[in-house]
Amino acid sequence: MEKHDIKTDAGLFRTMEERHSVKSYQTGVTIPDTEIRSMIEMATEAPSSWNLQHWKFLVVDDEEQKEKLHRIAYGQNQVKECSVVIAVLGDTKANEHADRIFQEAVDKGLITEAVKEKIVNGINGAYNGSETFPRDEAFLNASLAAMQLMLSARGLGYDTCPMGGFDREAFVEEFNVPERYVPVMLLTVGVRAEEPRISSRLSVDEAMVRNTF
């Protein structure tokens, strides 16, 4: 069977196939702020648990700050060459958004005030009842936004590299990251200078299990 021998949204599939981690960028390229904002806007279209939107994007385009980040990312070349690094952070206190988010539903007449209270109390209960839950949720939901950001960058003709290889403690300290946020990954964004190395994938048969193990 051909790889896409089915009816697909060709544009979306192509964008997903075209995205690869680019580690060498054309230097001196400025990405217009409108495009950066579009990428972030599309990232925030990601789904999130209870729609709590557990993400924050720290956009680093100042040369001195990038230099700092380059050191923190163990000297990885892509941080230096790219146009901008977007640090995706997860919010461990995203439950604090709940009241505002569900109030909107009340204002639109979608739910009653009593239902809102019940949902918000449930969310706060989940957050207060476990040490690991807030952090797991922050990583899970911010990662979905990061993926959308990479695809929207590709859709605008840019390339990215997701990066987990950086000193998280130093990052938090040197970029004054408030305690509620956990660094999830860095994304370099820019115009490729070289074609990315094409990475292979395990087969669908290896990746997929049907119904039960």
Ligand X SMILES: Cc1cc2nc3c(=O)[nH]c(=O)nc-3n(C[C@H](O)[C@H](O)[C@H](O)COP(=O)(O)O)c2cc1C
Q: Which is nearer to ligand X, 58 or 120 (CB)?
A: 58
Q: Which stretch binds ligand X (CB under 6 A): 24-32, 51-59, 134-142, 163-171?
A: 163-171
How many residues lie near ligand X (CB under 6 A)? 12
Q: Is 196 in the site for ligand X (CB under 6 A)?
A: yes
Q: Is 132 in the site for ligand X (CB under 6 A)?
A: no
- Rounded to whole angstroms, the Cα distance separating 22 from 150 reads 11
Q: Is 185 in the site for ligand X (CB under 6 A)?
A: yes
C-alpha angle with apex 132: 126 to 135, nearest 5 degrees?
Answer: 90
Q: Name 148's Cβ contacts closer than 8 Å, sequence gap at least 6.
A: 42, 43, 45, 46
DSSP state at residue 97:
G
Q: Which is nearer to ligand X, 33 or 169 (CB)?
A: 169
Q: Which of 164, 178, 194, 195 binds ligand X (CB under 6 A)?
A: 164
Q: Is 163 in the site for ligand X (CB under 6 A)?
A: yes
Q: Is 200 in the site for ligand X (CB under 6 A)?
A: no
- Rounded to whole angstroms, the Cα distance separating 55 from 150 reads 15
Q: Which is nearer to ligand X, 123 or 185 (CB)?
A: 185
Q: Is 47 in the site for ligand X (CB under 6 A)?
A: no
Task: List C-alpha distances in Å: 46 to 4, 150, 158, 207, 208.
Answer: 25, 12, 19, 24, 24
Q: Which of 105, 89, 87 is CA-nearest to residue 188?
A: 87
What residues make contact with ligand X under the rule CB under 6 A? 20-21, 23, 76, 161-165, 185, 196, 199
